Amino acid sequence: MCVEPLQMNMVSDTAVRVIFGTVISMETHKNIRSFCRELEKHPQKGIQEWVPSYTAVTIFYDPFLLSFDSLEAYIMNVCDSIEHHNLPDSMQVTIPVCYEEAFGPDLNQVAVHNQLTPEEVIELHTEPEYLIHMMGFLPGFPYLGGMNEKIAAPRLDAPRMKVPAGSVGIAGSQTGVYPLESPGGWNIIGRTPKKLFLPQETDPVLLEAGMRIKFMPVTTDEFLEMEEKEASC
């Protein structure tokens, strides 16, 4: 199956962005995932890494080892060889989340904004199976698709200087999980004891684009027990 990119833009003299769509969609996601899989199967000298996003893949390369014209030809050959039916099944990862007030200080605010009860927000947040479209802005941070618009909420007017690792947040129509403590302006509705980033491991990032996530509500006692187990691993 040939997948034609909509556009190829030079981002710099060492990077090219291959654009597969203009809106977030399952078809665009499949094209991007298939494209990255083909890049792995057919490595090219001079390509240093690639970074998928919602609608594009940015390829970083060494222009002393690979000219732009050669890279462009390689990209088109890769697109010609894409086969969606060879994509492996997406792995599902269950993320336990405690939505108690101590871990979700903005849960009530999200509920009030949407004229819902906190319990309804939790139910709507844990109901879908989410697709990881891309990773960023921190190592291991998943950008998820599939959140119910009924619980969408604007970013905080004043971002927090410190958001604890494991915090689950909502910003606009997106939800995500902070893998590390960092500043942030998302509405924090809960926290997971699961570690998404383990810098001491050979493969430090638990999640990757293409995986699916299911959030599972847990009590404070269950959270603390899981957190203790995670710390001892």
pLDDT in tens, 22-78: 888 888 888 898 899 889 989 999 999 998 888 999 999 999 999 999 999 999 999
- At 209 the pLDDT is 85
Set out the domains of the chain in order of their start, with CATH numbers: 7-86 (3.30.1360.40), 92-232 (2.40.100.10)
Which of 50-55's residues contact partners 24+ apart within 8 Å by CB, and which partners? 52/134, 52/209, 53/133, 53/134, 53/136, 54/24, 54/28, 54/29, 54/133, 54/134, 54/143, 55/19, 55/20, 55/21, 55/22, 55/23, 55/24, 55/28
For residue range 190-233, what is the model confidence (pLDDT) as tens digits? 999 999 988 887 888 888 888 999 999 999 999 999 998 887 76
The number of beta carbons lying within 10 Å of the beta carbon of residue 67 is: 12
- At 87 the pLDDT is 67
For residue range 2-28, what is the model confidence (pLDDT) as tens digits? 566 778 889 999 999 999 998 888 888
Which of 185-188's residues contact partners 24+ apart within 8 Å by CB, and which partners? 185/155, 185/156, 185/158, 185/159, 185/160, 186/155, 186/156, 187/106, 187/109, 187/110, 187/153, 187/155, 187/156, 188/103, 188/104, 188/105, 188/106, 188/107, 188/160, 188/163
